[in-house]
Structure 1
């Protein structure tokens, strides 16, 4: 009996997003705004909704942790923000955490989206 592949690693989820054409990374600019890399949009927190959060802990190093936020913008486009935290934090911009805290959250079942 075959079992479906569990999406339990960061690379598995990012690959699934890529295959679905949903690999639009959103990054913080030097000016404190979030920009969609693939869609070339500038976002304010109210333009986005966090629809799912995935947390990953490094197998070999507990300091190697990351969070993947799946977001939907007001036009219905899906994107993501990847944040490494702990010892290897990838966000040097002080406004990053404040920006994330202002984004509304609507936890959804994304099985249909990612299956």
Structure 2
């Protein structure tokens, strides 16, 4: 059986795939956990990182971002996004990295996530 190369080569492609599956919930850090656009609050231990994507800017390696695909224990799937280094978007959320470290990781194949 021939395997297709991954289509997930851009940030836009990942977010569009999530949107098409109605899984474009953004997990945003708040206090000691994450909230989603539907107003639910999750503690890190109620979440699992199921896939991590890293993207580097074509012209500037400093223009890089990371997207974490996250599944909550209630089945909600979404993402949390950050830029690397000096471009980080979570400066005001000093505990963002600490919160991410508390989320267990169970990497899944894209086919299992995007069906």
Short-chain TM bin: 0.7 to 0.9
Query: TM-score, normalised on structure 2?
Result: 0.88
Aligned mates of 1:33, 1:16 — CA distance in 2: 25
Aligned mates of 2:5, 2:106 — CA distance in 1: 26
Indicate the RMSD between aligned Cα atoms, in angstroms: 1.7
Q: Is the 8 A contact 1:32 1:96 kept in 2?
A: no
Q: Is the 8 A contact 1:84 1:90 kept in 2?
A: yes
Aligned mates of 1:20, 1:83 — CA distance in 2: 22
Query: TM-score, normalised on structure 1?
Result: 0.88
- Flag structure 1 segments of 5+ consecutive residues without an equivalent: none
Matches within 5 A, 1:93-104: 93-104=93-104
- Flag structure 2 segments of 5+ consecutive residues without an equivalent: none
Aligned mates of 1:61, 1:70 — CA distance in 2: 24
Matches within 5 A, 1:21-100: 21-29=22-30, 31-37=31-37, 39-92=38-91, 93-100=93-100
Task: Give per-residue Cα distances to partners, 1:48-107, cap 9 Å, x unaligned.
Answer: 000000011111111111110001101111011011111211111110000000000001
1:34 is displaced (CA, Å) by 1.2
